[in-house]
Amino acid sequence: MESKEIVKLAVQSLDKHKADDIKVIGVETLTVLSEYFVIADGNNVTQVKALSDYLEHELAEQGVQPLRVEGYRSTGWIIVDYGVVIVHIFMDESRKFYDLERLWKDGVQIPTETFLESHG
């Protein structure tokens, strides 16, 4: 599956399950780590874990498995790594602290609506 399709599925899953402040950053020209970062946050630890669970389940239904999941036992940041797309799900305080949007400000900011137009 192409990276943009994985981004679309991830954004739609996060949006459907009420993630806050979903952002997509194209980082392909800045790093070999990934082509896209998807960043979102939840209101509490339970929601952050649930967002990760829903994301993994819904992408698995489309045949997309993560290479790894980091931070599930932590309280503030879960990373779901699909290789070409890395999804970061934060608690609000952790997101502000790590400020990935600032760190990757030279990336291409892609409007989330781009991936939600065909949703629903």
Please write the tens of the pLDDT for every residue from 27-65. Answer: 999 999 899 999 999 999 999 999 999 999 999 999 999
Mean pLDDT for the chain overall: 94
**Within-domain flag for 33:** yes
The residue assigned the tokens 């829903």 is 54
Q: What is the mean pLDDT of residues 4-19?
A: 97
**Within-domain flag for 56:** yes
**Within-domain flag for 119:** no
pLDDT of residue 120 exceeding 70: no
- In this structure, the strands spanning 20-26 and 36-42 are antiparallel
In this structure, what CATH number is given to the domain that contains residue 38?
3.30.460.10
**Within-domain flag for 116:** no
Q: What is the mean pLDDT of residues 61-74?
A: 94
Question: Could you tell me the residue range of the domain that residue 107 belongs to?
Answer: 3-111
**Within-domain flag for 118:** no
* Domain count for the chain: 1
**Within-domain flag for 38:** yes
**Residue 118 binned pLDDT confidence (cut-offs 50, 70, 90):** low
pLDDT of residue 71 exceeding 80: yes
Determine the straight-line distance between the first and last CA of the chain, rounded to whole angstroms: 21
